[in-house]
């Protein structure tokens, strides 16, 4: 009979727990992103933008072949594929493995989940939509307007804001061991 008392001390056990925690955070965001994109694609196809809250928030369907704010939309198709699909996939899988292997504070781990979930959501779109990402929300405040975005973009932005905060002296104090 195998000695199971030491199994919990094996590295793969810790790595497995971290991988499951990452997936437990990523999968619900991926599902929400996917459902909202399916609904937007179906409900907004061929329609004029739909405005809410005194024209501050609107739903409008866009297929974005570039990155945030359509960066790279005019790149040659092969370059767009390499940057936004191949390099992004390598970066996401690398980051996933990094957070499985390297211990991280729970707050750092959480913001990593946000970035990974959003990144995988948009990567899935690119794989299934011929290099395009479905964007469908925009916020306008007077003459100012965001780019058109999706749930994955919100997760990525929240994650980067979290990492930016954690890299400040105040953020470092927040996660420092007490």
pLDDT digits (tens, 9 = 90+) for 87-124: 999 999 999 999 999 888 889 999 999 999 999 999 99
Residue 58, in any domain of the structure: yes
User: Quick check: 119 and 151 in contact, CB under 8 A?
Assistant: no
Residue 53, in any domain of the structure: yes
Check residue 14 and give its pLDDT: 84
Residue 174, in any domain of the structure: no
Domain hosting 70: range is 18-164
Alpha-carbon distance of 152 to 119, in angstroms, equals 7
Residue 76, in any domain of the structure: yes
Torsion sign across C-alpha atoms 116, 118, 122, 124: positive
Alpha-carbon distance of 90 to 107, in angstroms, equals 24
Alpha carbon of residue 119 to chain centroid: 4
Residue 5, in any domain of the structure: no
Q: Which of 112, 144, 113, 147 is nearest to 133 (CA)?
A: 147
Residue 169, in any domain of the structure: no
Check residue 35 and give its pLDDT: 98
Check residue 175 and give its pLDDT: 79
Count how many domains the chain has: 1
Residues of the chain with confidence (pLDDT) below 70: 1-12, 178
Check residue 178 and give its pLDDT: 65
Alpha-carbon distance of 22 to 123, in angstroms, equals 17
Q: Which of 43, 30, 26 is nearest to 137 (CA)?
A: 43
Residue 63, in any domain of the structure: yes
Residue 7, in any domain of the structure: no
Q: Which of 48, 43, 40 is nearest to 64 (CA)?
A: 40
Question: In this structure, what token pair is assigned to residue 81?
Answer: 């594929």
pTM: 0.86
């Amino acid at each position: 009979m195998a000695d199971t008392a030491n199994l919990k001390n094996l590295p793969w056990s810790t790595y497995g727990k971290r991988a499951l925690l990452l997936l437990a955070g990523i999968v619900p965001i991926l599902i929400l992103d996917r459902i909202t994109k399916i609904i937007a694609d179906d409900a907004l196809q061929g329609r004029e933008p739909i405005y809410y809250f005194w024209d501050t928030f609107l739903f409008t369907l866009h297929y974005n072949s570039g990155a945030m704010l359509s960066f790279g939309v005019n790149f040659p198709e092969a370059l767009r594929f390499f940057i936004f699909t191949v390099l992004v996939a390598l970066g996401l899988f690398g980051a996933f493995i990094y957070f499985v292997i390297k211990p991280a504070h729970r707050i750092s781990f959480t913001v990593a989940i946000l970035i990974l979930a959003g990144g995988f959501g948009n990567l899935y779109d690119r794989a299934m939509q011929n290099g395009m990402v479905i964007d469908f929300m925009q916020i306008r405040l007077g003459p100012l307007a965001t780019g058109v975005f999706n749930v994955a973009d919100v997760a990525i932005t929240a994650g980067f804001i979290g990492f930016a905060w954690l890299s400040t002296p105040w953020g470092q104090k927040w996660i420092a061991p007490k």
